[in-house]
Amino acid sequence: MPQTRTTPEGITQQLAKALAHPLRVRILTSLHRGISSPNQLAQELDEPLGNVSYHVKTLLEYDCVELVKTEPRRGAVEHFYRATERAFFSDADWAKIPASARKGIDGVVLEAIGQDAAAAMTAGTIDSRTDTHISRTPLVLDDEGWVALSKLLSAALDGAMKIGEEAANRLAEEKAEGIPASLSILHFEVPPKAAK
């Protein structure tokens, strides 16, 4: 699972609960792309505003999102949130979560990846850029190779998050729209016959 630089004691079980609902995973995914309000999220995710607001509040309680600003809107106040670094598990924290909870979280994440890919296929954006990368690479590893590949992927994720932050800053300065993108990193053991 994704790495985080600082994981406070006790966050593991709370974070597992926070990510146990598919809509919360979708909300966090969107908030990792940039700041948004529950109203904007509801429109983007095509979900009822009440449901989105409830799940944003739940994520706020679990310190997975933070309030960054408020703006008056037609007699009300619109709240804008962003995802926090705590919205990811460290490898050590992931190991502490019961296998049944890990399986549930994995299922939610894989479902979100599938939905992203299906939406991109339907909209024709999955191959609209010539520098898109999609690959499947079966490998046979020993323990040392497994650990080395896990470290490489963690470093790649850290680099991708930094690139995303830098891009968000540039876009904010330029007041420009960004390129919606999805980065999915999968590294898992498969049954022996599936490794071909």
What tokens appear for 97 in the block? 């979560």
Average pLDDT over residues 75-85: 89
CA 157 remoteness from chain centre: 11
144-168 tens-digit pLDDT:
999 999 999 989 988 998 898 899 8
H/E run at residue 108? helix 99-123
Q: What angle do CA 100, 101, 103 make, to 5 degrees?
A: 65
Contact 52, 59 (CB under 8 A): no
Backbone angles phi, psi at 159, to 5 degrees: -65, -40
* pLDDT surpasses 90 at 17: no
pTM of the model: 0.66
DSSP letter, residue 36: B
Least confident of 29-33, 44-48, 62-66, 72-76: 29-33
Q: What angle do CA 41, 30, 126 make, to 5 degrees?
A: 115
- Enumerate domains of the chain plus CATH numbers: 11-195 (1.10.10.10)
- Confidence band (pLDDT; 50, 70, 90) for 2? very low
- Confidence band (pLDDT; 50, 70, 90) for 129? very high
User: How far is 67 from 92, CA to CA, in rounded Å?
Assistant: 28
Q: Which residues contact 157 (CB under 8 A, 6 or more apart)?
A: 2, 3, 183, 185
Judge residue 155's burial from the number of C-beta atoms within 10 Å of its C-beta, 0-12 exposed, 13-18 middle, 19 or more buried.
Answer: exposed
- Confidence band (pLDDT; 50, 70, 90) for 118? very high
